Amino acid sequence: MAAQSVPPDSAVLVALDFGVIDIEATIAEACELVATAGAAVRAVVRGRREKPDAALFAGSGKVDEIAEAIANCDAKWVVFNHALSPIQIRNLERALETRVVDRTDLILDIFAQRARSHEGKLQVELARLEHHMTRLVRGWTHLERQRGGIGVRGGPGETQLEIDRRLVADRIRLTKARIAKVARQRQTQRGARRRSGVHTVAIVGYTNAGKSTLFNRLTRADTYVADQLFATLDTTTRRVWLGAGAEVTLSDTVGFIRDLPHALVAAFRATLEETASADLLLHVVDASSPRRDGEIEDVNAVLAEIGADLVPQLLVFNKIDLLSQAEASVTMDQCGKINELRISAVTGHGLDALRAAILSRLPATLPHAAQGIIPRPDARDLSGATS
Ligand SMILES: Nc1nc2c(ncn2[C@@H]2O[C@H](COP(=O)(O)OP(=O)(O)OP(=O)(O)O)[C@@H](O)[C@H]2O)c(=O)[nH]1
Ligand SMILES: [Mg+2]
């Protein structure tokens, strides 16, 4: 089950509108996900439905439309921008005679391509194995045995089902044990930091919101920044110096996305514990995104899933340089506590206010006279990640 990347083939994207979210922004994001996975969307099949069809997800007329789109652009696979059941995938592949990939497969595959550190790779492996387990159902066609392109699939046919289940279960146990070992090291590091009285600030947010750009600005680090989804998978933590003599550690971590697969959230739990145990979260939002309110909700949903919903948050609207109203500003709640800021991590607008806001929101043990966060000349990389 080595990590395999999506072949650079053409794909047909299927995006059905169930009337809940901004469908156009969702389609644009799905196209980016497909591109990030290394392929290209040649046609988009849209539709409106009350609820998914139990057998095929889409209606049979829509499936005919998808078949036509496949023939027109010689697509090698069909991407559904939805989570499908194993039965739906099986039925669709039978009907379309083409590989069918759902949103979960796509995100897992991108994570597999991106994982760099030992811990990151183990976590992605676990997520893929867990997902693979749910896909081991009876009645797969010859397509399952032939393929091996995307993600976790490529497993043997149904005659192998029981053996396959046992093998996957063994791999899951082994991977979990290895992750637990790395997590223990991480916990020890975190414990040492806590005992030293250093406060922790974690940057969270939707993928591509500008978290790593902000992290680099505040720490003068050179974490990988790219205009692509899930550029960062590993948590990087750095100690930054507060002017008055106190220090905080700042962490940059994996970005979130709508419908982040549960298997991934579970597998990344150890990494995300850094977030749940932080004293303050900088929730970075791409202020120029047409879906920014939805993205805030998506991030808050994942935070709740990892038990970080009660950690105090500063909402940081980033990329204001892309807006017509590009002034940096600060918003306070009824108690006079800063809870929102508008900044640009690229131009540096609003960063002094952000430093002051971080300081004002940290627990009282820190001296409040500090002027801002200034990286120490010897700022060390404190991430537990080993590459
Ligand atoms: N115009 C503008 N672009 C920005 C700003 N901040 C970040 N960007 C750009 O947004 C893109 C994503 O930035 P990253 O810092 O990699 O975003 P991230 O949130 O770490 O993304 P992931 O690690 O993929 O989740 C890059 O092309 C950045 O240059 C900003 O303030 N203004
Ligand atoms: Mg990043």
Torsion over CA: 58, 63, 66, 70 (sign): positive
User: Which run of H or E residues covers position 324?
Assistant: none
* CA dist., res. 299 & res. 304, Å (int): 9
**Is the distance from the beta carbon of residue 318 to the nearest atom of ligand 1 less than 6 Å?**
yes
Full-model pTM: 0.81
84 and 224 share a domain?
A: no
In the sheet that 247-252 helps form, which strands lie side by side, from edge to edge? 329-332, 338-342, 313-318, 280-286, 199-205, 247-252, 236-242, 373-374
**Is the distance from the beta carbon of residue 235 to the nearest atom of ligand 1 less than 6 Å?**
no
CA angle, residues 374, 375, 376, in degrees to nearest 5: 115
CB 7 within 8 A of CB 39: yes
Nearest ligand to residue 205 Cα = 1
- In a domain, residue 149? The reply is no
- In a domain, residue 136? The reply is no
How many of the other CB atoms lie within 10 Å of CB of 24?
13
Q: How many domains does the chain fold into?
A: 2
- In a domain, residue 122? The reply is no
Q: How far is the CA of 226 from the centre of ligand 1 (A)?
A: 7
72 and 203 share a domain?
A: no
- In a domain, residue 39? The reply is yes
* Residue 310's CATH number: 3.40.50.300
What is the Cβ-side half-sphere exposure of residue 244, based on CA atoms within 13 angstroms?
11
* Residue 18's CATH number: 3.40.50.11060
Q: Amino acid letter at 266?
A: A
Q: How far is the CA of 255 from the centre of ligand 1 (A)?
A: 11
**Is the distance from the beta carbon of residue 208 to the nearest atom of ligand 1 less than 6 Å?**
yes
Nearest ligand to residue 321 Cα = 1
Residue-range definition of the domain harbouring residue 328: 197-374
Find residue 248's DSSP bridge partners: 199, 240
Q: How far is the CA of 235 from the centre of ligand 1 (A)?
A: 16
The ligand 1 atom nearest the CA atom of 345: 31
236 and 353 share a domain?
A: yes
95 and 208 share a domain?
A: no
Find residue 256's DSSP bridge partners: 206
- In a domain, residue 260? The reply is yes
**Is the distance from the beta carbon of residue 351 to the nearest atom of ligand 1 less than 6 Å?**
no
User: Which run of H or E residues covers position 251?
Assistant: strand 247-252
219 and 326 share a domain?
A: yes
**Is the distance from the beta carbon of residue 253 to the nearest atom of ligand 1 less than 6 Å?**
no
Nearest ligand to residue 256 Cα = 1
**Is the distance from the beta carbon of residue 232 to the nearest atom of ligand 1 less than 6 Å?**
yes
**Is the distance from the beta carbon of residue 319 to the nearest atom of ligand 1 less than 6 Å?**
yes
User: Which run of H or E residues covers position 198?
Assistant: none
**Is the distance from the beta carbon of residue 227 to the nearest atom of ligand 1 less than 6 Å?**
yes
Of 51, 68, 101, the residue at which a domain comes to its end is 101
211 and 94 share a domain?
A: no
From the number of C-beta atoms within 10 Å of its C-beta (0-12, 13-18, 19+), residue 128 rates as buried
88 and 225 share a domain?
A: no
Of 83, 101, 119, the residue at which a domain comes to its end is 101
- In a domain, residue 175? The reply is no
89 and 223 share a domain?
A: no
Tens-place pLDDT, residues 351-385: 989 988 998 888 765 444 344 444 444 444 444 44
- In a domain, residue 344? The reply is yes
Can you give the pLDDT of all 387 residues of the chain as single tens digits?
A: 444 444 458 999 999 998 867 888 889 999 999 998 888 999 999 999 999 999 999 999 999 999 999 999 999 989 999 999 989 999 999 999 999 999 998 998 888 888 878 888 898 899 989 888 887 765 444 444 444 444 444 454 445 677 788 888 999 999 999 989 988 887 787 777 777 778 889 999 999 999 999 999 998 876 677 777 777 777 788 888 755 656 788 989 888 888 888 888 888 877 787 788 899 999 999 999 989 999 999 999 999 988 899 999 999 999 999 998 878 888 888 888 889 999 999 999 999 899 889 988 887 654 443 444 444 444 444 444 433
Of 54, 72, 101, the residue at which a domain comes to its end is 101
- In a domain, residue 190? The reply is no
* CA dist., res. 16 & res. 192, Å (int): 49
The DSSP secondary-structure symbol of 163 reads H
Nearest ligand to residue 216 Cα = 1
